[in-house]
Chains A and B, each alone.
Chain A
Amino acid sequence: MKDKVLNKPLEARKASPLLVSISAVIMGMLAGCLLIMLIGKDPINGYKNLFMGALSNKRKIGATIGLSTQLIFAGLSFSFAYKTGLFNIGGSGQMLIGGIICSLLAHKLPLGIPRPIYLVIIILAAILAGGLWGFISGYLKAKFNVHEVVSCIMLNWIAYWVCYDFIPRFIIDPSIAVKSAPIATERTLRSGIFGAIFGKSTTANLGFLLAIIAVILIWFILNKTTLGFNLKAVGANKYCAEYAGIKVNRSIIISMAISGALCGLAGLSYYCGYSNIMEMGKMPSEGFDGIAVSLLGNSTPLGSLIAGLFFGILKNGKLSLVTLGIPTELADTIIAIIIYFAATNVLFRNFWDGLFKKSFEKKEAYFALAVNGEKTMDQVSAEERKELIKKGKELSKTSKEVK
């Protein structure tokens, strides 16, 4: 490429999103340490239990994957909306609606349907149900300028009450009056393949494969298609998008619907995979955790996958904290602190940029010493530069010794 590039002097490295995310995680974990010490326990033991509880054997890894699936979907859902300029905080409601519709189908569809067709039906149902819930928020925003954060929260509670009504009306377990009857295993996403790997009755399920497919698909849509181009343009600057002839309102609705559909799938994998019952009066926290997943993953699909697995470890491992007398909410607190630090990433960015700048200036000084200030660093090849910096460093050492 013969780009017209201004002859730019070399600059210090800038902090990458990965480094910023890792810093946020470390800060969150340190804050967790403080909390554990605050209640008089040993943080090292605590973290050991946390990670052992999530990863120490096949069964536990299976459970971690089972938990992560929802987080990956929710993170992906938030990332997609966020890339297109929307703040989908309605993941919990979209999950509940996806979950309740799929649970109804799982209980009520005739048993004769072959499993592949059955799976296609419930996957489509989850997409449609969650998508509808997202669509409502998008529509209200596009047509009536209703802030999507507020409408999403309202829809979360409406979904909560829908389930509160539907569970006892259609699928109640008469012996436990607040839960639905369990779905038969062959009607869930659980599958023999996962059973074979992680042990029978593992909560890891086909939802995980669906999540990986979704990650790839969303990556493709965002980066390679005109639809992604369209939605991202609206997200980055809706005024420019409008000026360019893009239908901004339509994009908002499409984007919220897709985002909602992804959470609908999270509901499917949660209520018809990880668990096989629905409880009355329970709001899943994954809708909110998805925000943390997405922010930690720099709002990219791949980032959401990795961050989802990481939070899955925290969420699964937290159950092992009880034996130490540490409340399991520690893990949720750590997650919340991580998002706070992810939101205030300027802190770390400045910190690392400052550090990089210092080291860069040192290198510049060594370089200048080695070439007597006759050349600048951008005038030589990378290898030569390295050599000269090394030389400068030695020179400075010897000159100090002489002094």
Chain B
Amino acid sequence: MWELLIIIVPSAIAYTMPLLMGALGGLYSERSGVTNLCIEGLMLFGCFASAATIVKLQAIPGFSFNLAIVIGIVVAMLASTLLAALHAIASINLKADQTISGTAINMLSSALSLFLAQTITGSGNITVVRAVIRSDVPILSKIPVIGPLFFSETYWTTWICIAVWVISYFLLYKTSFGLRLRACGEHPSAVASAGVNVHKMRYIGVLTSGFLSGLGGACILVTYAGEYNAGSGINGLGFLAIAALIFGQWKPLGILGSTAFFGLCMTIANIGRILPAFSGIPMAVLGAFPYIATLIALVFSSKKSAAPLASGQPF
């Protein structure tokens, strides 16, 4: 059992972080009142942008591999934010159907990233030479049980993601910014009548969702994936993030729990076949497992929806 845990837990944490960022991005957007179904596209674009940047930088002789990764992540966040701006313009200013706009962004992201990948590398795939190296957290990794599970062989990006989660929690629930953002998603005209610019708040919400999804997409690349793959994209991870948002009832703590659950499912799907405990199960069943688990989770959590009341309604 311990053997199994020691393989699964660190891996599950790695799979959870991109999901957490995507879901948190969705949270900002939906709390501000804009339905965001393009998390998938935003994450994919972040994954692509970081891959392209890192490959180009790491090809420069003498350029620090780690610096390349840092720059790659930043570029990914900015690129996804830019793409999210398209969704913001469509949903906020042009009062477009937000589902359609989100779908358009998803398609645009996959087509455009593939188009650019083709021009950059000549093939649909971009593989980075070196991703983030795992390392032990000093002192903490020496704690029995917890140390090996949570503090050994960790990616530094994980700690950034967790910091983002903590900051988000604080921002949303302790600051005037959070109060206004949440109010925008429930009753925008109340916010307007209190003298706050609703459009501005919604822009911040949608752009933040791009920013964080970009981070999530880059995390996929620099941790477990190591390559941008045009064929499979990010395997619907962005939609899993949206499902996690629903399952987590639009609350930061709920999202943390639900993404951890989906992260675990993804781990089983991806490394299950190398684990002796799952050896008898066909690969397809393992592969489909996260999606089936998501459907079941949604069946139980969708009936009483805690979605922000004004989400999806133009103002």
Binding site for B on A (CB under 8 A): 35, 39, 87, 89, 140, 144-147, 149-151, 153-158, 160-162, 164-165, 281-282, 288, 291-292, 295, 327-330, 332-333, 335-337, 339-340, 342-347
Known: A144-B299, A161-B287, A343-B100. A335 touches B90 (CB 8 A): no
Q: From B96, B115, B302, give the contact of A329 (CB < 8 A).
A: B115
Query: Interface segment, B17-25, B157-165, B272-280, B288-296?
Result: B288-296
**Is B175 interfacial (CB 8 A cutoff)?**
no
B101–A344 touching, CB < 8 Å: yes
**Smallest CB-CB separation from B113: which chain A residue?**
A329
Please, how many angstroms separate the alpha-carbon atoms of A15 and B62 in the complex? 59
B100–A151 touching, CB < 8 Å: no
B283–A292 touching, CB < 8 Å: no
B107–A146 touching, CB < 8 Å: no
Supply 9 A–B pairs (Cβ within 8 Å), ascending by A.
A35-B115, A145-B302, A153-B40, A158-B288, A161-B285, A164-B283, A335-B107, A335-B111, A344-B90
A333–B96 touching, CB < 8 Å: no
Size class of the contact patch on chain B: 35 or more
**Is B246 interfacial (CB 8 A cutoff)?**
yes
Please, how many angstroms separate the alpha-carbon atoms of A268 and B107 in the complex? 24
B104–A336 touching, CB < 8 Å: yes
**Is B4 interfacial (CB 8 A cutoff)?**
no
Known: A145-B305, A332-B111, A333-B108. A327 touches B243 (CB 8 A): no
On chain B, the residues within 8 Å of A282 by CB distance are: 231
Q: B81 → chain A, closest Cβ, in Å?
A: 17
Binding site for A on B (CB under 8 A): 37, 40, 86, 89-90, 94-97, 99-101, 103-112, 114-115, 118-119, 231-232, 235-236, 239, 242-243, 246, 282-285, 287-288, 291-292, 294-295, 298-300, 302-303, 305
B283–A153 touching, CB < 8 Å: no
A165–B284 touching, CB < 8 Å: yes
**Smallest CB-CB separation from B103: which chain A residue?**
A291
Known: A149-B99, A150-B239, A344-B101. A140 touches B295 (CB 8 A): yes
Please, how many angstroms separate the alpha-carbon atoms of A295 and B101 in the complex? 11
B104–A150 touching, CB < 8 Å: no
Ranked nearest first, the 6 interchain pairs of A and B with the lowest CB-CB distance are A165-B284, A327-B118, A332-B111, A161-B288, A336-B108, A336-B107
A144–B298 touching, CB < 8 Å: yes
On chain B, the residues within 8 Å of A335 by CB distance are: 107, 111
Please, how many angstroms separate the alpha-carbon atoms of A65 and B198 in the complex? 48
Q: From A144, A146, A153, A336, give the contact of B111 (CB < 8 A).
A: A336
B100–A329 touching, CB < 8 Å: no
Please, how many angstroms separate the alpha-carbon atoms of A153 and B290 in the complex? 12
Please, how many angstroms separate the alpha-carbon atoms of A316 and B114 in the complex? 18
Known: A291-B103, A343-B96, A344-B101. A329 touches B298 (CB 8 A): no
Q: From A35, A140, A158, A288, give the contact of B299 (CB < 8 A).
A: A140
Greatest chain B CB density within 10 A among A39, A154, A337, A339 is at A154
A162–B94 touching, CB < 8 Å: no
Tell me the interface secondary structure of chain A in the complex: helix
A150–B96 touching, CB < 8 Å: no
B119–A154 touching, CB < 8 Å: no
A339–B303 touching, CB < 8 Å: no
Q: A83 → chain B, closest Cβ, in Å?
A: 14
On chain B, the residues within 8 Å of A346 by CB distance are: 94-96
Q: From A87, A140, A332, A345, give the contact of B298 (CB < 8 A).
A: A140
Please, how many angstroms separate the alpha-carbon atoms of A169 and B112 in the complex? 35
Please, how many angstroms separate the alpha-carbon atoms of A140 and B119 in the complex? 42
On chain A, the residues within 8 Å of B285 by CB distance are: 161, 165
**Smallest CB-CB separation from A295: which chain B residue?**
B100
B107–A339 touching, CB < 8 Å: yes
B115–A340 touching, CB < 8 Å: no
Please, how many angstroms separate the alpha-carbon atoms of A164 and B285 in the complex? 10
**Smallest CB-CB separation from A157: which chain B residue?**
B291
On chain B, the residues within 8 Å of A164 by CB distance are: 283-284, 287
B302–A147 touching, CB < 8 Å: yes
Q: B188 → chain A, closest Cβ, in Å?
A: 19
B111–A333 touching, CB < 8 Å: yes
On chain A, the residues within 8 Å of B235 by CB distance are: 157
Please, how many angstroms separate the alpha-carbon atoms of A39 and B119 in the complex? 7
Please, how many angstroms separate the alpha-carbon atoms of A345 and B239 in the complex? 26
Known: A87-B99, A288-B103, A327-B114. A162 touches B284 (CB 8 A): yes
**Smallest CB-CB separation from A338: which chain B residue?**
B104
Q: A158 → chain B, closest Cβ, in Å?
A: 5
Greatest chain A CB density within 10 A among B94, B103, B246, B283 is at B103
Please, how many angstroms separate the alpha-carbon atoms of A291 and B231 in the complex? 20
Instruction: Name 4 extra pairs, CB < 8 A, besides A149-B239, A327-B114, A344-B94.
Output: A158-B292, A161-B291, A327-B118, A328-B118
Please, how many angstroms separate the alpha-carbon atoms of A336 and B106 in the complex? 8
On chain B, the residues within 8 Å of A340 by CB distance are: 86, 90, 101, 104-105, 108
B298–A146 touching, CB < 8 Å: yes
B105–A154 touching, CB < 8 Å: no
Please, how many angstroms separate the alpha-carbon atoms of A343 and B242 in the complex? 21
Q: B302 → chain A, closest Cβ, in Å?
A: 4
**Smallest CB-CB separation from B292: which chain A residue?**
A158
On chain A, the residues within 8 Å of B232 by CB distance are: 281
B90–A337 touching, CB < 8 Å: no
On chain A, the residues within 8 Å of B105 by CB distance are: 340
B239–A144 touching, CB < 8 Å: no
Q: From A153, A337, A342, give the contact of B108 (CB < 8 A).
A: A337
Q: From A35, A151, A332, A343, give the contact of B104 (CB < 8 A).
A: A343
**Smallest CB-CB separation from A283: which chain B residue?**
B232
Please, how many angstroms separate the alpha-carbon atoms of A327 and B40 in the complex? 23
On chain B, the residues within 8 Å of A291 by CB distance are: 100, 103, 107
B103–A89 touching, CB < 8 Å: yes
Please, how many angstroms separate the alpha-carbon atoms of A336 and B282 in the complex? 36
B294–A327 touching, CB < 8 Å: no
Greatest chain B CB density within 10 A among A157, A342, A343 is at A343
Please, how many angstroms separate the alpha-carbon atoms of A288 and B105 in the complex? 12
B243–A154 touching, CB < 8 Å: yes
Please, how many angstroms separate the alpha-carbon atoms of A342 and B103 in the complex? 12
Known: A150-B243, A164-B283, A281-B232. A339 touches B95 (CB 8 A): no
**Smallest CB-CB separation from A89: which chain B residue?**
B103
Q: From A154, A160, A288, give the contact of B107 (CB < 8 A).
A: A288
On chain B, the residues within 8 Å of A154 by CB distance are: 236, 239, 243, 291-292, 294-295, 298
